[in-house]
Amino acid sequence: MSDVGKVRLRLPSSIKAGDIVRVRCLVIHPMERIERDASGRIVDKKYRYIDKVSVTYLGKAIASFDTTQSVSENPVFAFTFKATEPGKLAVTFHDTHGATYEGAAEVRLG
Amino acid sequence: MVDGGAQVEERTGMTRRAVLGTLGAVGVAAVAGVTATSSAVAQALGQNEPIEAALRRVFGGRPMKDGRGVIKLDAPLIAENGAVVPVSVEVDAPMTPQRYVKHIYIVADKNRIPVVARAVLTPDSGQAYVGANIRLGESGSVRAIVEQSDGALLQVTREVRVIVGGCGG
């Protein structure tokens, strides 16, 4: 449980200016699925899962995901961005319990 | 004195039972009400509904063109574990401020929550590509639905066989 919210970003080792870069990011999160009681009825509670993922590069929004419980536990998301100059790539996750987790990577061009 | 006491006790006993009965009924009603509202609010995008209802709710019956040749939906033919199924969608379309891919929806027909995820893209994305690990409850179609900035909808479908379901719900 203590690992919840750990974010890992994977970028290619070398990025040139103008490249379209594919990024994969992993977040440790339970993504609780719907539970049912013995009679098959859905247990009503506030399920904890990520419902919003947003990606920014140089402080500008690049992409976002709206997600549901149909996304797997410890989800992996992949997306692209166009590398123009060195700077910060950040991914923010927001879950239904109000927690936010952030992962960031420095984009270096070379 | 003794008689009166017994009577009172009898009477309170009856009342307590009646009160408990009423409270129980109210409780059930309250819980039912909460279930209806909270799940509707919490799952604005992914509701527990059949696929036809989901598509009608999200796209409002707008026509969808076949996206074969434009959309590349990558999903395994056979998913041994439905709890983690890697899916990626690549769209061969320009990403310019005038015309770009605005949304990519990943939809699993057989899931109780069919709309898995929606990606919102911008021209800065450079290329319309997204990937995610999704859950699949049972074998069935997985769709990628692409909405372009001008509102045009394209979709492709892939069959995925699931050995062990991964939704539980």
CB-CB neighbors (< 8 A) of B111 in chain A: 70
Predicted confidence (pLDDT) per residue in A61-108, tens digit = 999 999 999 999 999 999 999 999 999 999 999 999 999 999 999 999
Residue B45's pLDDT band (cuts 50, 70, 90)? low
Task: Tell me the whole-structure pTM to 2 decimals.
Answer: 0.80
* CATH code, A88: 2.60.40.10
Residues of B in contact with A60 (CB under 8 A): 124
Query: How many domains does chain A contain in total?
Result: 1
B31 has a chain A CB within 8 A of its CB: yes
Task: For residues A100 and B72, give the distance between their C-alpha atoms in angstroms, rounded to a whole number.
Answer: 32
Say if CB A104 and CB A10 are below 8 A apart. Answer: no
The two tokens of residue B149 are 């900035």
Beta strand pairing status for B153-164 and B78-81? parallel
* Tokens linked to B26: 């109210």
- Residue A84 sits in which domain range? 7-32+47-107
ipTM: 0.90
The answer to whether B55 contacts chain A (CB < 8 Å) is no
Contact B126 A46 (CB under 8 A): no
Burial call A76-85: b when 16+ CB within 10 Å, e when fewer: bbbbbbbbee
A108 touches chain B (CB under 8 A): no
Which superfamily, per CATH, for B51-164?
Answer: SoxY domain (2.60.40.2470)
Please name the member of B112, B125, B132 whose beta carbon is closest to the beta carbon of A80: B125
d(CA A60, CA A57): 5
C-alpha B148/C-alpha B35 separation (Å) is: 35
Structure tokens, B7: 């009577």
Instruction: Give the C-alpha distances (Å, rounded to integers) separating A33 from A37, A107, B126, B142.
Output: 13, 35, 33, 19
**DSSP calls for B25-65:** HHHHHHHHHHHHHHHHHHTSSS-S--HHHHHHHHHTT---E
Which of B11-25, B27-41, B63-77, B117-131 shows the lowest per-residue confidence on average (mean pLDDT)?
B27-41
Return the residue in B135, B136, B162 with the most chain A beta carbons within 10 A, the one to mutate for interface testing: B135
Residue B16 pLDDT more than 60?
no
Nearest CA to A77 out of B87, B121, B78 is that of B87
Share of chain B above pLDDT 90, in %: 59
Give a yes or no: residue A18 inside a domain.
Answer: yes
Say if residue B73's pLDDT is above 90. Answer: yes
Amino acid at B1: M
A21 lies in a domain? yes
Q: What is the pLDDT of residue B31?
A: 45
Q: Which amino acid is at A39?
A: S
Is residue A40 less than 8 Å (CB to CB) from chain B?
Answer: no
Considering CB atoms only, which of B115, B127, B131 is closest to A68? B115
**Closest-CA residue to B146 (of B98, B87, B89, B88):** B89
**Chain B contacts of A30, Cβ < 8 Å?**
none
Q: Average per-residue pLDDT in chain A?
A: 91
Q: Nearest-CA distance from A102 to chain B in Å? A: 18
b/e map of B39-59 (b: 16 or more CB within 10 Å)?
A: beebbebbbbbebeebbeebe
What average pLDDT does range B156-162 have in this prediction?
95
Residue A22 lies in a domain: yes
Instruction: Tell me how crowded residue B134 is: count the other CB atoms within 10 A of its CB.
Output: 29
Confirm whether A71 is domain-assigned.
yes
Separation in Å, CA of B16 to nearest CA in chain A: 29
Domain residue limits, chain B? 1-42, 51-164
Distance between CA atoms of residues B152 and B71, nearest Å:
13
For testing contact with chain A, the best of B43, B124, B129, B142 (most A CBs within 10 A)? B124
- Cβ contact (<8 Å) for B167 and A33? yes
The pLDDT of residue B4 is above 60: no
Q: Flag whether pLDDT at A50 surpasses 50.
A: yes
A73 to chain B, any CB pair closer than 8 A? The answer is yes
Mutant choice from B81, B130, B133 vs A, greatest count of A C-beta within 10 A: B133
Query: How many degrees, rounded to 5, is the angle at CA B13 between CA B9 and CA B15?
Result: 120
Classify residue A2: in a domain, yes or no: no
pLDDT-derived band of residue B5, with 50, 70 and 90 as boundaries?
very low
